[in-house]
Amino acid sequence: MDALSDVLRSIRLSSAFYFKSDFSAPWGMNVPSVPFAQFHIVVSGQCLLQTLKERILLKEGDIVVFPHGIRHWIADSESSVRVSGGEVVESINAGCPVFQGPETNNTLVCGHFEFDRSVAGLFLGELPSIIHISSQNQETNQWLRQITDILTFEADNEMPGRDVIIQKLGEVLFIHTLRSYAEGDNHITGVFAALFHERISKALKVIHSDYAQNIQIEQLAKVSGMSRTNFINKFRALTGETPMNYVLQWRMLKASELLQNTEQSISQVAEGVGYTAEAAFIRIFKKRTNYTPLKYRLAKR
């Protein structure tokens, strides 16, 4: 399994669909700061999007994702009266869209992505406040259009399995957005950058799959096709961490999952993440989380 897939499973990625709706001018939404990664897809027309730091003219086929759920507004024009996003969602769900009119100016698909932020911060913390994928990129537009078409079809038709299909498509949308951002002309940093690096990602794959084993620097350098020194320097330059500190972080992350989701004893959890001495595991886990493993398990449950 590739490193990014490992990460996406660990952060418990899921999605929620708000609406697919036609808007008639004038229209506008104020979207508050939220603990989700929200998204908007412009199915038709064009509109303005404003954050605290930038303004973007969105065109048909564009998608914007807010990885950290920052406050923003979106409208057909700067002068349009804006209502809260919650009110817009409620009106659409009630069958009386607040921006309904004789002429459609825009069609939007909106929703959000959820993930465990206590875990995701390690991997996605370096993402920008907004990711804008333009439809002008033809390669990007191809997959975006396909996902949007299916989302639109499912949103318009009450067919069996509709909700699950929309949820899964939302997850696919998030993954494609991350890919497109990483492959674009962006100065990505952190572990996120390492996940897409041709050589370092191979080392991450080993760490993610063999974390319970006695992983050595030489082994990681070899699988990356680099010298020991070059590997260490490149790994640290990308992630800000030494390779062995990252191994430790991944072990503690997997230990957290086992403590939350299984009935394994503390010694079994310790052994499962590569520690033969339970005391050593407890000491390191507490240093990293400020909890003993037992107290962590109780707190999370």
Q: In whole angstroms, what is the distance from residue 281 CA to residue 269 CA?
A: 9
**pLDDT value at residue 29:** 96
pLDDT tens digits along 192-218: 889 989 999 999 999 999 999 999 999
**pLDDT value at residue 250:** 93
- DSSP 8-state symbol, 29: E
**pLDDT value at residue 86:** 93
Q: Which residue has the tokens 């975006």?
A: 144
In this structure, what are the phi and psi dihedrals at residue 67, rounded to the nearest 5 degrees?
Answer: -55, -30
Q: In whole angstroms, what is the distance from residue 64 CA to residue 58 CA?
A: 9
pLDDT tens digits along 130-152: 999 888 765 655 776 788 788 77
Two tokens, residue 284: 């390191």
Q: In whole angstroms, what is the distance from residue 36 CA to residue 174 CA?
A: 12
pLDDT tens digits along 208-267: 999 999 999 999 999 999 999 999 999 999 988 999 999 999 999 999 999 988 999 999
Q: Which residue has the tokens 């997959």?
A: 143
Domains in the chain, please, with CATH? 3-186 (2.60.120.280), 197-300 (1.10.10.60)
pLDDT tens digits along 100-140: 888 888 999 999 998 887 777 777 888 899 999 888 765 65
List Cβ neighbours of 274 (8 Å cut-off, separation of 6 or more): 211, 212, 213, 214, 251
**pLDDT value at residue 191:** 87
Average pLDDT over residues 279-300: 93
Which pTM value belongs to this model?
0.84
**pLDDT value at residue 268:** 96
Two tokens, residue 252: 């503690």
**pLDDT value at residue 157:** 78
